Amino acid sequence: MGIIAWIFIGLIAGWLAHVILGGRGGIFGNLAVGLVGAILGGFLFEKLNLHVIPDFWGNLITATIGAIVFLLIWRAIRRA
């Protein structure tokens, strides 16, 4: 998958994470959360031995779950 596709998926995943968890976030914040979430989601899915279909939807689900986990951790650290 090309870099443009990863940026697009990261942007959507970051936006979905913000919609699900609430909060504020601009386009760059959503993109950053989505890209970090894609990396974190890929790592978590590999460690948990979970397999998704390696297409757009599978990558989007993985990135969104990773972005949600990342946001939850980020918010817990900021509140401490």
DSSP code of residue 26: -
Residue range of the domain that includes 74 = 3-79
Residue 19's Cα: distance from chain center in Å?
A: 12
Rounded CA-CA distance 9/12 in Å is 5
**pLDDT higher at 74 or 1:** 74
Distance of CA 74 to the CA centre of its chain: 13
pTM of this prediction? 0.84
Q: Tell me the longest C-alpha to C-alpha distance in the chain.
A: 38
Give the count of beta carbons closer than 10 Å to the beta carbon of residue 53: 9
HEC secondary structure over 48-63? CCCCCCCCHHHHHHHH
State the total domains in the chain.
1
Q: pLDDT digit string (tens) for 6-63?
A: 888 888 898 899 889 887 777 788 888 888 888 888 888 889 998 888 888 998 999 9
